[in-house]
Structure 1
Amino acid sequence: MAKVKLYGLLARLESRELPWLGKFLASPYFNANEDLVQLWGFLREVHPGYEVLDKKEVFQALFPGQAYDAKLLNARYSELTRLVEQFFVQQEFRREEPLQYPLRRSAYYRRRMYPQFSRECHRQAGLLEQQTGHIKSQAQLLAVYDALYYGRQEAASPEKGNEEAERAMKYLDRHFILSKLKYLADLFARKTMYKEDHTIRLQEAVLSEAAERKDKDPVVGMYYYLARLFLDEFSEEAYRRLWGLVQQHGKKLPRDEQAFFVAKLTGLAHLRLSYGENTYYQLLVEAFKYADCYGLLILDGQISDISFLNTCAVGAAAREFEWVREFIEKYKTYLPAASATQATLLGKAAVLFNQEDYEGTHRILQQASHWHPYYRIRMHSLLVRCLLGMHLDTPNYYRTLHNAVEAFSRFIRRNKSLSAPKREGYLNFGKAVKRIAALRSHQWRSSRERAALQEWVSRLKPLALRPWLEEQLEK
């Protein structure tokens, strides 16, 4: 069935916005068609499950007794779609006061109310200057001073005009440096994570200027150290220095820029974990707690199931069991409906597994199923590790474990979305598990064979979940 654009828009309405849309449609300033008010009244009854509606049923509710006319109904749907889009714009306009600034200035200027125009510019500048950490506010502030400098039609003195020009240049410099630093940090991060190569114009000039400003301007310092973290040979010391700055000054930043820092730091921490640097587990937990504290995990009323599962897995590996349980209870209602149950089960399984409650983990995994490769890899790999843990405790699970590894390996070979190194890493993981299990089935035989197996695992590359496997061999 073809998707209806109107239904997609209406499904994004927050519950508190439902009555507001009704008032918006009832306003003669925006809408003169009473049919649209009635149409919304009917659709609202099934919010957000609009797809279950039969259009003929909708038509009869709107035009009782008339023969079904698809063209007429589609016209009403199109009109309501346009008004819902306009409602979204109005909502953003109300919420984001800076969006109103240029319109207020232009309204005064177009009507030649120059004294009011000047006062409004200075009022807006005062408000924006308080937002010292916001990159977007720097651009808005620059626009205000630009308007003052080029729009002074009230015969201001040249000295006043020069003052506005100087202030505009000051904010232009800071906006350029902050914006360029943010792009530098992002591109350096992509170069580190994905081996991309970029030519970055004015790179050295920006870094040099930022180095002079970083101690006086904490926000410039944060972006500077983030860029240097990826540009230089990054170290745990440099990571901790930047993380300390984020904890100290991050609250001055708007939500999207805080989220930018957290995303880059957690991405780097995950990369270091993949190299076996387990001290980053606790640093990751601190970053997730920060994101939780400042509401950075919820976007458009939902938490990404990937973010949810990563947080649960890392928190459990860092043995923050109580915090992870509280996290699951707090955020499970914000998960996408299609994956909420399975993500919650996997989060709970991660806690039990890291508590070495392998039987409890196994029971939960028996209930879990999902079609997406991301989930299936997590489920398969956790099941294999769970069975190996049970086998190492009591060596009676070799056949079950062997079958689970074979099933996992077949899935990995069929999965075309995995990169070649990741595919090989998971296949090597399966080989290592089978060799460890076989040796355990024979009561480890001898310390010499165990040492030889440890040496073999240490040389096996690439190898997924290497730290956990090495830990099992050391028990």
Structure 2
Amino acid sequence: MQNSKLFYLFQSIRGDDIRRLRRFLHSPYFNSREDVVRLFEYLHANEAEGALLTKEAVFAHLFPGTTYDDGRMNAVMHFLFKLLKQFVVQREFELESSQPYLTRALRKRKLPRLFEPASKKWKKQLDKAQVRNAGYHFQQYQYQLEKYEYDHRQRRSGRMNLEEITEALTTYYIADLLRHSCTILTAQKVSQEAYEPVLLQGILTHLDRTEKELPPAVVVYRYAYLALSNPKEKTYFSKLLLHIEAHWQQFPPAEARDLYLLAVNYCIQRLNQGEKPYIRQALQLYQQALQRSLLVEEGVLSKFTYNNILMLAIGLQEWEWAKQFLEDYRHALPDLERDNLYRYNLAILYFRQGAYARAMELLRRVTFSDVLYNLNARTMLLRTYYELEEYDALFALLDSFEVYIRRQKGMGYHRSHYQALLQFTRRLLHLPEGDKGGRAQLKADIQAAPATAERAWLLNKLD
């Protein structure tokens, strides 16, 4: 039963939502089946059992003294699953403003005495709203549309708000298109897939020519897109930073975080071109986002962000700040991986400081299911054993590392990169002392290899 869609969805409902769900299921408006309520209570009480929740055992609890009936059991599960889906939709609705739905309902029911005050209240809410992202402009469009639908049925002449409708819709479309176009530019760096956003070039030309002051939802993404698509033109990036600083509070926290990450991505582009000053700029952006509580979402900091920030601090040799950062945000790492991620990143810090013994102690206690994390951890351990001249441990690691690579599927180009590292490391270890010819040949082979993990380190050891 633990593999059912019902149980999969049920496990996502936590905390106060469990109490809300119980009231929801007891409401006769939504549910009139007592067996569905009993199934919910049983799942809630026995969720931790996981694999032990067989359909037969649950059926015996729901219908004691009754022979197991798979069709009847499936029916109860179906009804509860249907109600759970209805509940999560209801919760999503409750988290949004109900004013648009109320206003629309009153208009459709032809209740002008109620519609007009509801419409005015909605307008006040929009005018006072702090968030001014694309979603805000979509709400403006919805408001103007409802106003038009009401007005043109009440009177046949006079000015209609058609211009306001098109302006709000256009602003929403441009802002959202630019936002998604920035995401596309970032994705292209990874996937190398070709994307061609419809109408984008025409919109950029239109924005260049307009004399109107652009709203934050447009201007920020405009400069983000121009900076990412024209990285050598530093003016765009400077303007992006100015507008993020001026307007970040007008975006929801998750979207403000994404704006900072777009700016960080620009810095990474410049770093990949060898422009080292952008290490400092990228770290400052992360630090600013941390200070503004934008990177921790629902109490969790992404493990990738945790590692990225550490690597930037290491690049600047800000050792004390890096160590404090690892400690300060250890509690915010994902629960199931917290200890592993903390030890892994602390090992990186010690490793880069040359404290190999301390790094080795931590790495021996790191276990990851993620292939890339495993590769990185094993590579650090390989280099650590070499630096400490722990040759017996190193040879054992080379053997186990090779077995690990052979067993992994879907490694892509990483497989050949790390196989080359193991091969060249073995040759390096077997070189007789004073064998200049052998060292020269190994160096030439490493340099000629299409791709090798830790190539710079191998060449450094030969030199």
TM range (shorter): 0.7 to 0.9
Per the alignment, do residues 71 and 384 of structure 1 end up closer, same or farther by CA in structure 2, a change over 3 Å counting?
same
8 A contact 2:260–2:289 mirrored in 1: yes
The equivalent residue for 1:183 is 180
Q: Residue 64 of structure 1 aligns with which residue?
A: 64
Q: Which moved more, 1:33-42 or 1:260-269?
A: 260-269
Alignment-derived partner of residue 83 in structure 1: 83
Distance 2:459 2:158 in 1: 72
Could you tell me which runs of 5 or more consecutive residues in structure 2 were left unpaired when the two chains were aligned. Answer: none
Find 2:243's aligned residue among 242, 245, 267. 245
The equivalences for 1:64-463 within 5 A come to: 64-97=64-97, 100-129=98-127, 130-131=129-130, 133-153=132-152, 155-156=154-155, 158-161=157-160, 164-211=161-208, 216-234=214-232, 238-239=236-237, 241-293=239-291, 296-297=294-295, 303-318=301-316, 319=319, 320-332=321-333, 334-335=334-335, 337=336, 339-388=337-386, 390-391=387-388, 396-397=389-390, 400-401=393-394, 404=397, 408=401, 417-420=410-413, 426=418
The amino acid across from 1:139 in the alignment is F
Structure 1 residue identity aligned to 2:352: N
The letter for the 2-side match of 1:325 is L
Cα separation, partners in 2 of 1:44 and 1:132, compared to 1, 3 Å = closer
1:431 to 1:51, Cα distance in 2 relative to 1, 3 A? closer
Equivalent residues of 1:115, 1:154 under 8 A apart? no
**Residues 77-99 of structure 1, C-alpha deviation per residue, up to 9 Å, x if partnerless?**
211111111111111111111xx
Aligned counterparts of 1:234 and 1:246: Cα–Cα separation in 2: 20
* Distance in 2 separating the partners of 1:340 and 1:417: 26
User: Contact 1:11 / 1:48 at 8 angstroms: preserved in 2?
Assistant: no
Deviates more, 1:364-373 or 1:404-413: 404-413
Structure 2: which amino acid aligns with 1:366? R
Partner AA of 1:14 in structure 2: R
199-208 vs 455-464, which moves further: 455-464
Deviation at 1:37, TM superposition (A): 2.4
Counterparts of 1:49 and 1:288 in 2: how far apart (Å)? 41
- For 1:53 and 1:31, the matched residues in 2 are separated by 24
Q: Match for 1:138: what amino acid?
A: H
Query: 1:430-460: CA deviations, max 9, x gaps?
Result: 6786798899x96999xxx99x999998998
Q: Distance in 2 between matches of 1:349 and 1:312?
A: 11
Which amino acid is 1:73 matched to?
M
Q: CA deviation at 1:253?
A: 0.6
Return the offset for 1:270. 4.2
Cα distance in structure 2, aligned partners of 1:24 and 1:455: 71
Number of residue-to-residue matches in the alignment? 456
3-state DSSP class of the match of 1:96? coil
Alpha-carbon contact 1:114-1:152 (below 8 Å) kept = no
SS where residue 91 of structure 1 aligns?
A: helix
1:337-361 residue CA offsets vs partner (Å, 9 max, x unmatched): 3x44432321332233233321111
Q: Residue 321 of structure 1 aligns to which amino acid in structure 2?
A: A
Distance in 1 between residues matched to 2:444 and 2:294, nearest whole Å: 43
Find the residue that maps to 2:197 and give its secondary structure.
coil
Contiguous gaps of at least 5 residues in structure 1: none
Deviates more, 1:422-431 or 1:263-272: 422-431
For 2:396 and 2:266, how far apart are their aligned partners in 1?
A: 35
Q: 1:125 to 1:240 in 2, by over 3 A?
A: same
The 1:212/1:152 distance shift into structure 2, 3 A limit, reads: same
Residues 467/134 of structure 1: CA separation in 2 closer, same or farther (3 Å cut): farther
The corresponding residue for 2:22 is 22
Quote the Cα distance in structure 1 between the aligned partners of 2:276 and 2:123: 47
Instruction: Spell out, residue by residue over 1:356-412, the C-alpha distance to the aligned partner (whole angstroms, 9 max, x if none).
Output: 321111011112223431221121222133334x34xxxx34565466457656755
How far the C-alpha of 1:212 sits from its partner, in A, is 5.3
- 3-state DSSP class of the match of 1:14? coil
Q: Distance in 2 between matches of 1:159 and 1:470?
A: 80
Compute the RMSD of aligned alpha carbons: 3.9
Which stretch has the larger CA shift, 285-294 or 323-332?
285-294
CA–CA distance in structure 2, aligned partners of residues 444 and 220 of structure 1: 65
Is contact 1:425-1:462 (8 Å) kept?
yes
Partner Cα separation in structure 2 for residue 428 and residue 287 of structure 1: 37
User: Residues 227 and 237 of structure 2 are in contact (CA less than 8 Å); yes or no, is this contact kept in structure 1?
Assistant: yes
